[in-house]
Amino acid sequence: MRRSIRGAGAIAGAMAFVLVAVGGWFGYQQWAGSNCSGELTLTVAAAPEIAPAVKETAADLTADGAEVDGLCVAVEVTASEPVEVAAAIAGQHGVSLSGVGQASGSAVLPNVWLADSSTWLLRLRQQAPAFASRNNASVARSPIVVAMPEPLATTVGWPQKKLGWKDLLGRITTGTQLKTGLVEPSRDAAGLAGLLSLATAAQSGGGAQAQQATTAALRALATGVSAVREELIARFPRATDPTSLARGLGAAALSEEEVIKFNAEKPPVPLAALYLEPAPISLDYPYAVMPGTEPAKAEAAGKLFAALGTPAFRGRLAGQGLRAPDGTWADGFAPPRGAPSPAGTEPAPTTAAPNPGGTAGGGDGATIERVLSSWSVATQSGRMLAVIDVSGSMFERVPTANNATRMQVTLEAARRGLALFDDNWALGLWIFSTELNGSRDYRSLVPIGPMSSQREELERALGGITPKRGGDTGMYDTILAAYRAVQDEWEPGRVNSVVLMTDGKNEDDNGISQATLLAELKRISDPDRPVQVIIVGIGAEVSKAELDPIPKVTGGAAFVTEDPAKIGDIFLQAIASRPSAPR
């Protein structure tokens, strides 16, 4: 008799399994007696480190019979790298994020995105103003720390001494042999937070020294950049002997969660987590409901969000090495030695305030793009011909730049950009107006050559540039000649480009037309020897509609600012927009 009861139990269990497997959640709910019918699926893309906690909480939500308008709520949580989702969203809006590239074919847009940082939302909004996610509140937090092998950390006073980003900056830029690392900041939020903090520390003095300090910091960091987090972490020393410590990675900006995960594996050399001041932008895990999410799914998203605010979810976060949004932690959290609580509780980055809550790095989209553009210029080599407008209109004054002339503002932007280019770059310099060299509208000041041998010559040439009184703008002839000059001596392994800065439109009645220019660029272009034309337009007289077709033929782009005082940012953004060099 006992045997038949045991068999009946097995049959009942098998029937339950079949109901769930074949009928899905709807069949199970009907069998369990729930009143909901049908299924409403909410898709969630979550950063890999928080995804397990979100999945468990979502499973509880559906098991408790969550419903919307009589439909059973089902939640599909996918662990997704934030950079992949960001690329997919950018592609949907027809824009691109610096350093991110195109989305992979497997990237799918979710109803809810749980990225690791609000900086992704800021960057998307900066490039695509129509992108407006809802809610965006933090559901977890992981402070950004400087991870350092414990034997090295003790030499800088850890864990007793409080250190700042200026302390780290000094060690990075003064040749102390501290090997620093960073995950590519355009693709990693922790790397970006570290870069922003160091850039802020470098710029705190202001003036030319700040520019030099920033450039030095960027170049020092560039020597230790890694494409992905796993690659960076693998460079930490695996033995405590002096040789291993000297050869291994000495310091890197990582999330606290990464340090906890690393130390949980009981490595031969544990990592210390240094909480530098002022606090960087933390990973804040914003709960972003995507634009266009239908009302029923938005309501389901609200139910999941409420579940992510419960003590049960806080406990699951602790098991993943993550804090609650207020910077505290629940039972089960294994804090690094010396970890403060709360920590990383500054306000989330916002476009409304350039530097919220006194945090390092500036949490607005414009600042982020500016720093990433500087990083791109400082860390990627190229071969570029800079072409500067010297027509008479460059004498006009710029009220927003202390009444300096357009020429002065343009040359200062060029000088700052020049300081960022390292010796691996090759640069040349032309000027243009009308009839500068006989009947030619352009004149070469410095031919394209390595920065290692002609940096001073370029600086002297920039210092001697003055506008031509009464000169017009012979743009089309100049662009074609510059394109041919770069193409004739094209070099593999580099981005070969022409960057032209102008405050007007083509005014050369004796030159070629735009139609002729476009036709000739198409005729002579060579996909095996590409040359990108980038145009930086300065002032209200510039027509972006007139400029756009020209660089598009070459795979380049046009950038226009009505305020000449902003040309520095636009110039860096233009250089940073270059694609990767063909091989």
Contacts of 370 (CB under 8 A, 6+ apart): 569, 572, 573
Per-10-residue mean pLDDT, the chain, length 583 = 36 35 39 69 97 98 94 96 94 86 75 97 93 96 96 91 87 74 93 91 70 73 85 94 90 96 96 94 96 96 97 97 96 95 69 33 74 78 92 91 90 83 89 92 96 94 94 95 96 90 88 95 94 89 87 89 78 65 50
Let me know the angle formed at the C-alpha of 461 by 389 and 388, rounded to the nearest 5 degrees: 15
The whole domain housing 249 covers 144-283+348-365
Tokens read off for 488: 């004739």
Q: What is the pLDDT of residue 177?
A: 67
In a domain, 582, yes or no: no
**Which among 445, 449, 418 has a CA at the least distance from the CA of 432?**
445
Q: What is the pLDDT of residue 131?
A: 94
Q: What is the pLDDT of residue 423?
A: 82
Is 167 found in the same domain as 77? no
Is 133 found in the same domain as 149? no
Is 475 found in the same domain as 539? yes
How large is the C-alpha radius of gyration of the chain? 28
DSSP class of residue 224 equals T
Instruction: Look up the CATH number of the domain holding residue 175.
Output: 3.40.190
In a domain, 337, yes or no: no
Q: What is the pLDDT of residue 340?
A: 93
Which CB contacts under 8 angstroms, 24+ apart, belong to 549-555?
Answer: 549/514, 549/518, 550/479, 550/514, 550/517, 550/518, 550/521, 553/518, 553/521, 553/522, 553/525, 554/483, 554/521, 554/525, 554/530, 555/530, 555/579
Is 300 found in the same domain as 261? no
Secondary structure (3-state) at 191: helix
Tokens read off for 577: 């927009």
Is 163 found in the same domain as 128? no
Residues paired with residue 272 on neighbouring β-strands, in sequence order: 148
Is 548 found in the same domain as 408? yes
Tokens 């705190």 sit at which residue? 204
Single-letter amino acid code for the residue at 521:
L
Instruction: Look up the CATH number of the domain holding residue 117.
Output: 3.40.190.10
Tokens read off for 93: 């809006």
Residue 408: phi and psi, rounded to 5, are: -65, -40
How far is residue 149's CA from residue 269's CA, in Å, rounded to a whole number?
6
Cβ atoms of residues 481 and 444 within 8 Å: no
Is 38 found in the same domain as 27? no
Single-letter amino acid code for the residue at 570:
I
How far is residue 95's CA from residue 215's CA, in Å, rounded to a whole number?
28
In a domain, 342, yes or no: no
Residues paired with residue 113 on neighbouring β-strands, in sequence order: 45, 288
Give the full edge-to-edge strand order of the sheet including 251-255: 225-226, 180-183, 251-255, 144-149, 271-274
Q: What is the pLDDT of residue 576?
A: 65
**Which among 470, 473, 477 has a CA at the least distance from the CA of 542?**
473
Number of neighbours of residue 274 by Cβ within 10 angstroms: 23
How far is residue 82's CA from residue 373's CA, in Å, rounded to a whole number?
20
In this structure, the strands spanning 251-255 and 144-149 are: antiparallel
In a domain, 153, yes or no: yes
Q: How far is CA 548 from CA 327, 501, 537, 555, 558, in A?
A: 47, 14, 10, 11, 6
**Which among 272, 232, 275 has a CA at the least distance from the CA of 143?**
275
How far is residue 494's CA from residue 579's CA, in Å, rounded to a whole number?
10
Is 398 found in the same domain as 469? yes
In 11-26, which positions are buried (b, 16+ CB within 10 angstroms) versus exposed (e)? eeeeeeeebeeeeebb
How far is residue 310's CA from residue 313's CA, in Å, rounded to a whole number?
5
Instruction: Look up the CATH number of the domain holding residue 388.
Output: 3.40.50.410
Provide the H-helix boundaries in 502-557: 514-524, 544-547, 549-554
Is 301 found in the same domain as 227? no
Single-letter amino acid code for the residue at 90:
A
Q: What is the pLDDT of residue 211?
A: 66
Secondary structure (3-state) at 7: helix
Q: What is the pLDDT of residue 206?
A: 60
Q: What is the pLDDT of residue 499?
A: 92
Q: What is the pLDDT of residue 448?
A: 96
In a domain, 373, yes or no: no
How far is residue 372's CA from residue 281's CA, in Å, rounded to a whole number?
15
Segment (H or E) for 260 = helix 256-264
Is 558 found in the same domain as 440? yes
**Which among 432, 279, 434 has a CA at the least distance from the CA of 355?**
279
Cβ atoms of residues 249 and 224 within 8 Å: yes
In a domain, 467, yes or no: yes
Is 297 found in the same domain as 252? no
Q: What is the pLDDT of residue 107?
A: 64
Give the CB-side neighbour count of residue 360, counting CA atoms within 13 A.
Answer: 27
Secondary structure (3-state) at 573: helix
**Which among 364, 381, 368 has a CA at the least distance from the CA of 426?**
381
In a domain, 339, yes or no: no
Distance of CA 443 to the CA centre of its chain: 37
In a domain, 117, yes or no: yes
Query: Per the structure, how many domains does the chain have?
Result: 4
Is 182 found in the same domain as 132? no
Specify the length of the chain in residues: 583
Q: What is the pLDDT of residue 571?
A: 73
Q: What is the pLDDT of residue 478?
A: 96
Cβ atoms of residues 165 and 277 within 8 Å: yes
pTM of the model: 0.72
Give the full edge-to-edge strand order of the sheet including 112-114: 67-68, 71-79, 39-46, 112-114, 286-289, 134-138
